Structure 1
Amino acid sequence: MPQEFNHPEDPPPDFVVVDVETACSSVSSICQIGIVGFRDGAVAFEYETLVDPLDRFSSFNIGIHGITSDHVVGAPTFGAIHAVVDSHLGGRITVAHSNFDKGALGAACLIHDQPMIETTWLDSVRVAKRAWPELPSHRLNVLSRFLGLRHRHHDALSDARAAGMVIVRAIDHTGIDLAGWLAPSRQTGRAPKAAATGPLKGERVAILGAPRDGPLAHRLAAAGARVVASVGMTTTTLVIGNEQPFGRYVTAHAEYRRAEALRREGRAIVILPEDEITARLASG
């Protein structure tokens, strides 16, 4: 039977998270759904239920989540819980770890002749890749271990809770708020060409927290610096942009750590805030 922890009189959540498990290769064959609402960085409500997919159970999928046809005897169909799911997701910001859950819900709505759920989607995989680019994988179980979360992988409620905490931790780690994560990623263009002369002629400068085709990059290039995409063996300076989105956690960023590692190896690389290098250029 569906299980729900919710207080209707509470204010609405900042965002909700949904995760589904499927019975077979058919993306519409939802056999479990978990929904978790978050408010002020904490769980506000939870909803979970097994679902009769009205479809077969494949041995492959059973091996992933352990749910069999016996488990869903007497469970509601997706059509029967559509209104509840819509009441939690509709008109809100909905997080899912990859686009799979979004596709599964859409397919289930079609199969069960239910209206599409209108919500604003946010992919926590994309968020995690931007927040922690140094990780070798951004699968939910890997992120849970990295963040120290208690997590039962491929249980829909636990997966939803973990994906929500990825968002909470990413906001805290980077300083980017929910609206910032929802904003489309800016496509970075080519770096400006270095001027033939200037006080930074011969310097290879990487920028953390500002686009390599933005105003800071143009000022550096005008002073003769070659603006590079990332910190490497030949980089001479890492500039920390004033508007960089990593807040006090900038020292945890992969580019910063790479620069520090090169310094320890004896490489002549300096790390400067934007204000300092701007002041140096202004003073001549």
Structure 2
Amino acid sequence: MIFPASDTLLAPAPASTVDPEEPDFVVVDVETACARVSSICQIGIVGFRQGREIFAFETLVDPRDEFSTFNIRIHGISPEHVAGKPTFGDIHGVISRHLTGRVTVAHSNFDKGALSAACRLGALDLIETTWLDSVRVAKRAWPQLSSHRLNVLSRHLGIRHRHHDALSDARAAGMVIVRAMEETGIDLQGWMARPGKPGKAPSAADEGPLKGERVAILGEPRDGALAQFLAGAGARVLTSVGATTTLLVISARQPYGRWVTAEAQHRKAEQLGVAIVTEAELRTRLGADGRGPVRA
């Protein structure tokens, strides 16, 4: 049975025992009894501050719904486990106090959808929180991984994790955020910021050492400082790598670290035989006056 032994579970923490420190973010994970996402049968919530856990809440939930064999096989929770446990309506206030007004992390949008569905089913107030998807964070922090499932990430990062236990899943997703901040140097606000749609690429100068080059940029928008430099040297700046691309320039500001070669645009350039150069290498080749040769 996947469902953990009782001595590994935390009892629901009453408000008076919750750590008084305000968390930087909280993490929520739910398990469901059947295909209906409203059928929450377990919930785990963990608060993090400055990279450490400061509180945890976990409880089994009576979903007042059927249990499917498929779901029982996944998480090990069956009707006898939730007999006499609180309903979602009973704990809605506790959940709301933990999440409302905070940054709430969930691994994919499943948990967000489940909470919303359970609130609607019970005619309860929707929980007002700001969501952050740890899958999106993980894909940017570790693009070299073929999968960003929570169990795969936990193995890769050395995080102790019992998959499909709500409390363990919440803890692991929280540590993914902590490790991603350490790996990339991007803080929580940076991860929360949604990149805006890049503006129009600058027009290529009539003359310059990059005249005739069709250049894609990795790690910086097409209307950024690097694009301006490239266009000023005569290059046509492209939206992405394609069949007509002649050069891929890796920005000095790229956020992927040593995993930049795993990025989709880098892989595509390699497949197409497109020349790849870093911004520093390109500027060196052009020389101080910007008139030097492009290629070695």
TM-score range, shorter chain: 0.7 to 0.9
Q: RMSD value over aligned CA atoms?
A: 3.3
1:110: which partner in 2?
120
Candidates 137, 161, 166, aligned match of 2:176: 166
- After TM superposition, give the deviation of residue 10 of structure 1 in Å: 3.3
Output one character per residue of 1:34-89: Cα deviation in whole Å (capped at 9) or x when no partner: 00111111111111110000111011111111110011111111111111111111
Using a 3 Å threshold, how does the CA distance of structure 1 residues 279 and 36 change in structure 2: closer, same or farther? farther
Candidates 221, 237, 241, aligned match of 1:211: 221
- After TM superposition, give the deviation of residue 275 of structure 1 in Å: 9.9
Unaligned segments of structure 2, at least 5 residues: 1-9, 292-296
Letter in 1 for 2:46: V
Q: Using the alignment, how far apart are the partners of 1:172 and 1:219 within structure 2?
A: 31
TM-score (norm 2): 0.81
Using a 3 Å threshold, how does the CA distance of structure 1 residues 130 and 258 change in structure 2: closer, same or farther? closer
Counterparts in 2 of 1:247-258, with a 5 A limit?
A: 250-254=257-261
- After TM superposition, give the deviation of residue 169 of structure 1 in Å: 1.4
Output one character per residue of 1:189-234: Cα deviation in whole Å (capped at 9) or x when no partner: 5644544421223445443331123232122022123435359997
Q: Using the alignment, how far apart are the partners of 1:282 and 1:42 within structure 2?
A: 50
Using a 3 Å threshold, how does the CA distance of structure 1 residues 233 and 42 change in structure 2: closer, same or farther? farther
2:101 maps to 1:91: yes
Candidates 8, 25, 32, aligned match of 1:15: 25
| Range with bigger deviation, 97-106 or 211-220 | 211-220
Q: Check the 8 A contact 2:21/2:54 in 1, yes or no.
A: no
Letter in 1 for 2:108: S
Q: Using the alignment, how far apart are the partners of 1:158 and 1:164 within structure 2?
A: 10
- After TM superposition, give the deviation of residue 145 of structure 1 in Å: 1.9
Letter in 2 for 1:108: A
Q: Check the 8 A contact 2:44/2:59 in 1, yes or no.
A: yes
SS in 1 for 2:41: strand
Output one character per residue of 1:104-148: Cα deviation in whole Å (capped at 9) or x when no partner: 111111222321111111111111222222322222122222222
Q: Using the alignment, how far apart are the partners of 1:131 and 1:105 within structure 2?
A: 27
Using a 3 Å threshold, how does the CA distance of structure 1 residues 169 and 85 change in structure 2: closer, same or farther? same
Q: Using the alignment, how far apart are the partners of 1:31 and 1:199 within structure 2?
A: 64
Counterparts in 2 of 1:46-65, with a 5 A limit?
A: 46-65=56-75
TM-score (norm 1): 0.84
Aligned length: 277
Q: Check the 8 A contact 1:238/1:259 in 2, yes or no.
A: no
Q: Check the 8 A contact 2:139/2:148 in 1, yes or no.
A: yes
1:238: which partner in 2?
249
